[in-house]
Structure 1
């Protein structure tokens, strides 16, 4: 099972990824984690990335796709993988497609967790208020202001990735505003259909 999970911050991508990792025994691939591991292990692509980061620049799409290419060759990814948080832009999606095609690897599905931004903001505000009322610390990225900025960035760059995969016939939309169990059941139904 080779999957991409798309959706704005707070849509539940992480929650559903953890469940799919257990169900299919495949790794969830985080580009940030893979990048750090490649740098730490001084792989050829990791050394390139280290040089770029040391110069204070952002790592190119070419390097990130190279890191994904190396990672999906590892034994635990032979039966599939979940990409969560990548690709973030259409050029990244195009580069990922070329790399997968060069390895004769096809995606099974691209799942998009669709959410209502206003309801999500209300949910996050309530959660932050409840945590503060209980005397708990609210993480900076769980604050409504931070979420709003992350949603703006998602809408500006990543929202176009869904339509890109829709044109390819790979996109499957799931209502991310449902309870976690209902989202999981909808995903299971989609993946069951895709496998047949």
Structure 2
């Protein structure tokens, strides 16, 4: 199976590239945001547990998030692999994901990180906000916070995969098709 982590800050183009990769490689898309919405809407035990933490204003613990990922992985029969989008967000989550996937005999093949300068990220996020209706994409302070959280809390995940020689950086500025081609070149080398 082709299991990859698509990595990058908010506005790097992960969503755009994920769609293209899913189509080309017949991958299952796993986004924790989507998983949260599914479990909350369906009122599953994991959803109820997550809701309890969220109601208290706390982060949902890694065990609950990994439980949701495990649940999704069990329903990916017939898939050529998985693209993890926006996950893992912490080194603890990366370690738990590795343990889960290695236990299935299907480890992460690689992390593909989209490198985009902060000034470009801000432009893209604001543009996305105009078309998506996301209020947080229009608020400069919220954009700054999201980029800072990424730099402080999520960037260490890149070092985790670098230590396993699974980290691959792609320049995320340019034509969408050129970036896609560069990503595919990395994937085809796995």
Distance 1:69 1:189, change over 3 A: same
Which structure 2 residues correspond to residues 43-192 of structure 1 after superposition, within 5 A? 43-76=44-77, 78-122=79-123, 127=127, 139-143=134-138, 145=140, 146-192=142-188
Root mean square deviation of aligned Cα: 2.4
**How many pairs align?**
187
Distance 1:193 1:7, change over 3 A: same
Which structure 2 residues correspond to residues 5-44 of structure 1 after superposition, within 5 A? 5-44=6-45
The alignment's TM-score, normalised by the length of structure 2, stands at 0.86
Q: What SS class does the counterpart of residue 69 from structure 1 fall into?
A: helix
Distance 1:168 1:49, change over 3 A: same
Q: Give the Cα–Cα distance (whole angstroms) in 2 for the partners of residues 139 and 83 of structure 1.
A: 22
Give 1:18 deviation, angstroms: 0.6
Q: Give the Cα–Cα distance (whole angstroms) in 2 for the partners of residues 111 and 193 of structure 1.
A: 12
Deviations 1:62-92 (A, max 9, x none): 1101110110111356421111111111111
Give 1:159 deviation, angstroms: 0.9
Distance 1:24 1:101, change over 3 A: same
The alignment's TM-score, normalised by the length of structure 1, stands at 0.83
Give 1:138 deviation, angstroms: 6.5
Q: Give the Cα–Cα distance (whole angstroms) in 2 for the partners of residues 121 and 49 of structure 1.
A: 30
Structure index of larger Rg: 1
Q: Structure 1: any 5+ residue segments left out of the alignment?
A: none
Q: Structure 2: any 5+ residue segments left out of the alignment?
A: none
Distance 1:14 1:122, change over 3 A: closer
Give 1:117 deviation, angstroms: 1.1
